[in-house]
Structure 1
Amino acid sequence: MKDFKNDFMLAPGCYLLNHSVGRPLKSAEQSFKQQFFTPWQDSGVEPWGDWLGIIERFTQVLSTLFNAPASEFCPQVNLSSALTKLVMSVERLQQNDAVVLMSELDFPSMGFALKKALPNGCELRFIPAESDITDANVWDSYITSDVDMVFVSHAYSNTGQLSPIEKIVETAKAKGALSLIDIAQSAGVVPLDLNALQADFMIGSSVKWLCGGPGAAYLWVKGQHLASCQPKDVGWFSHENPFEFDIHDFRYHQSALKFWGGTPSIAPYAIASHSIEYFSRVGSIALRKHNQQLLDVITEELEDKVVSPREKSQRSGTIILDFADKQQQVLQTLKSANVSVDVRSLGMRVSPHIYNDEADIQGFLQLIKSI
């Protein structure tokens, strides 16, 4: 098997915080210089032609990774902004009696954005946190006939759970509801085929398993919805022809770029497109297999400490461990050995990537056994 450690910038110790920020590729800095700085520094003409090519590359690598047309992807600053723009563009969600369903386990920022983007009188309905969101029957019971859109996280950051998105989307369609998938915690480490899934919308980022840094989020809108979506937060790059410069004539871009807005940020997408291209070659299936094998090793050794799902169909790329009254001692021991993990409400989060190997995991386990 290829030694992926050689491809990434890895500090001394063991980095298992990939649910938070993935490590950069060694080639990222040179690639960024070539894409972003070289057209700016080495040419006497404005670099916008080259810079916009970076955005084209970004949507194309997303197309390859998620199996959907590049024209259905639009760069976004972050997921909250993408969600706000989307909700405000869908006529059905701008009715005063619209109902959106989500889980109390979703990332709080998503709830904040939805509450502000939906008109007064709309209902943001929650599946209680104690419900098993890995169970399709739970979702079926909450997706009632009055629900206009179901917001579902593919993976849940604080619980290590994986939701049954295929069945959720199927149920939503059967009951006449739209579906929006949040893949912030799953992009790259859990395979996703948008063409096969047939969800309506998707939002995601590049900072975690895709190792692309912050600022390179994205919005995906299924082609059949593009014509009907009417974004309110627009700018000259939302225009069908940004360089027409007629202040009296605005026409939406025919692609998902209608959600883009004003003068765009370029640098984050130069870094992210290079990284996503790399992981497209590795393949989400291979990354998922490697990640799950390492999680199996941890589960076998620390079975009574695992509080996240054990079944692969319900398990994300993250395992949650609870050491009860020894939690702080374990954390301090790991920190002293430069082993990077973190803690949330249920316990310690551990997320091995393609550049982690079994030796990393055995070292991690030995430190814990020493306590």
Structure 2
Amino acid sequence: MTDYRDAFTPCEDIYLLNHSVGRMPRGTADYLQQHFFAAWESGAPEPWPQWLEAIDSFRAALARLFNSEPAHFCPQVNISSALSKVLGGLPPPADRNVILFTENDFPSVGFALQQAARLGFEPRMIAADRDPQQLATWEAALGPDVHTALITHAHFNSGKLVPVDAVTRLTRARGILSVVDIAQSAGVVPIDLQRWQADVVLGSCVKWLCGGPGAGFLWIDPARVASIEPLDVGWFSHAAPFEFDIHHFEYAPDSARFWGGTPSVLPCVVAAHSLDLIYRIGVDMIREHNQQLTQRIVDAVDPACLRAPADPALRGGTLVLNLPEQDAVEQRLRSAGVRFDVRPMGLRLSPHIYNSNKDIDAVIACLQG
């Protein structure tokens, strides 16, 4: 396999925090200078045409990566903000008012969903002890009172990979709006939005996509656009943003209606550069490499220590371990320069395309003492 380590900024430590922040591609600063600062520094009377072109490049890069169209993607600051815009735009609930999610979803998403109670919805959690990978769990929970279901593709605290396409088949059949969170899977698990046929997909570029913070995105099925009218709007949400008539507002006919006011350009420029690199490497290749490295760790530890699925096909990119004498293990990892973190279910290790077998050898030595 091609060695892509030199395509990213170097790191002296063994960096396994890709579930948190992916490492920056080389040349990001030069790309940012060319596509963001150059027009501004040149004294050009209007840098906005180049900046908007850069945002178009960001949306086009997302479309290439996830098999969709650029107009279906709207830049967002983060997933929680995007979710709040979707919730705020839903029609008032009538006979259906439940918004379903799981107790193991990322807390920030849960916080946003719980605010929907102020709009007349009833947030309802699938209990933490129910397995989100089992279709029976969703079949039982997606009752006739459910309006919207939040489906997390890869769980942050367990590494479990949920069969989104099977769940969205259920939601479509039952007339339930599906919202999919791909924060922990985008860039390390291949995603084809045409195959999923979800209604809304929310993502971020800060993790496996290596695009830094602030470059979130919202994707919406064009058939669903007209049914959601967000309250959080601005001139970029307008069908004619340069009309400048304060007496007239008309929602954009595509995902842009979720945009809001003046956009934050710089994060989109940074992320566009990273998305292009991830696309050229190929998510299939990143997935294969990640599985090969994580499986080596799985094979080296007691199966009882695993908090992520043993089957690599059921795992996202993150391995979660709860080990005997974990404090001592964590100290050995830190002393060896391994970058990891710990959550309630255990320590998390997430190798990317720039990690090597040598890195994993060092990790295994620390785990085995």
**TM class, shorter-length:** over 0.9
Note the alpha carbon deviations across 1:28-65, whole angstroms, 9 max, x for none: 11111111101111243220010011110111111111
The answer to whether structure 1 residue 47 and structure 2 residue 47 are counterparts is yes
Note the alpha carbon deviations across 1:206-234, whole angstroms, 9 max, x for none: 00000000000000110101122211111
Q: What one-letter code is carried by the residue in structure 2 that aligns with 1:125?
A: R
Note the alpha carbon deviations across 1:57-112, whole angstroms, 9 max, x for none: 11111111111111111000111110010111121x65585111110000111111
Q: What one-letter code is carried by the residue in structure 2 that aligns with 1:11?
A: C
Shift of 1:302: 1.1
Q: Contact 2:96–2:146 (CA<8 Å) still a contact in 1?
A: no
The answer to whether structure 1 residue 71 and structure 2 residue 59 are counterparts is no
What's 1:298 paired with? 297
What's 2:312 paired with? 312
Q: Contact 2:301–2:367 (CA<8 Å) still a contact in 1?
A: no
Give the alignment's TM-score, normalised by structure 1: 0.96
Distance of 1:44 and 1:176 partners within structure 2: 51
- DSSP-derived class of the 2:146 partner: coil
Shift of 1:292: 0.7
- DSSP-derived class of the 2:342 partner: strand
What's 1:236 paired with? 235
Shift of 1:118: 4.3
What's 1:246 paired with? 245
Q: Contact 1:96–1:120 (CA<8 Å) still a contact in 2?
A: no
Give the alignment's TM-score, normalised by structure 2: 0.97
- DSSP-derived class of the 1:310 partner: coil
- DSSP-derived class of the 1:172 partner: helix
Distance of 1:211 and 1:152 partners within structure 2: 23
What's 1:98 paired with? 97
Shift of 1:278: 0.9
Note the alpha carbon deviations across 1:227-277, whole angstroms, 9 max, x for none: 222111111111112111111111111221111011111000000011011
Q: Contact 2:116–2:123 (CA<8 Å) still a contact in 1?
A: no
Q: Contact 1:77–1:218 (CA<8 Å) still a contact in 2?
A: yes
What's 2:197 paired with? 198
Shift of 1:349: 0.4
- DSSP-derived class of the 1:133 partner: coil
Shift of 1:308: 1.2
Distance of 1:136 and 1:295 partners within structure 2: 26
Matching of residues 202-213 of structure 1 within 5 Å: 202-213=201-212
Q: Contact 1:80–1:113 (CA<8 Å) still a contact in 2?
A: yes
- DSSP-derived class of the 1:83 partner: helix
Distance of 1:286 and 1:142 partners within structure 2: 35
Distance of 2:64 and 2:253 partners within structure 1: 21
Identity of aligned residues (%): 44
The answer to whether structure 1 residue 150 and structure 2 residue 149 are counterparts is yes
Q: What one-letter code is carried by the residue in structure 2 that aligns with 1:36?
A: F
Q: Contact 1:100–1:125 (CA<8 Å) still a contact in 2?
A: yes
Q: What one-letter code is carried by the residue in structure 1 that aligns with 2:314?
A: Q
Note the alpha carbon deviations across 1:155-188, whole angstroms, 9 max, x for none: 0001111111111101111222111100000011
What's 2:352 paired with? 353
What's 2:288 paired with? 289
- DSSP-derived class of the 1:291 partner: helix
Q: What one-letter code is carried by the residue in structure 2 that aligns with 1:87?
A: L
Matching of residues 117-266 of structure 1 within 5 Å: 117-266=116-265
Alpha carbons of 1:260 and 1:118: their partners in 2 closer, same or farther (altered >3 Å)?
farther
The answer to whether structure 1 residue 113 and structure 2 residue 112 are counterparts is yes
Shift of 1:119: 3.6
Distance of 1:97 and 1:194 partners within structure 2: 26
Q: Contact 2:96–2:144 (CA<8 Å) still a contact in 1?
A: no
Distance of 1:38 and 1:167 partners within structure 2: 47
Note the alpha carbon deviations across 1:306-334, whole angstroms, 9 max, x for none: 2210112321111111113x111111111
Note the alpha carbon deviations across 1:8-39, whole angstroms, 9 max, x for none: 11221200010010000111111111111011
Q: What one-letter code is carried by the residue in structure 1 that aligns with 2:358?
A: A
Q: Contact 1:88–1:94 (CA<8 Å) still a contact in 2?
A: no
What's 2:271 paired with? 272
Matching of residues 14-33 of structure 1 within 5 Å: 14-33=14-33
Aligned-pair Cα RMSD in Å: 1.3
Count of aligned pairs between the two proteins: 368
Q: What one-letter code is carried by the residue in structure 2 that aligns with 1:54?
A: A
Q: What one-letter code is carried by the residue in structure 1 that aligns with 2:260?
A: G
Alpha carbons of 1:165 and 1:365: their partners in 2 closer, same or farther (altered >3 Å)?
same
Shift of 1:367: 2.6
Distance of 1:244 and 1:178 partners within structure 2: 33
Distance of 1:312 and 1:294 partners within structure 2: 11
Distance of 2:342 and 2:127 partners within structure 1: 22
Shift of 1:120: 4.8
Alpha carbons of 1:94 and 1:80: their partners in 2 closer, same or farther (altered >3 Å)?
farther
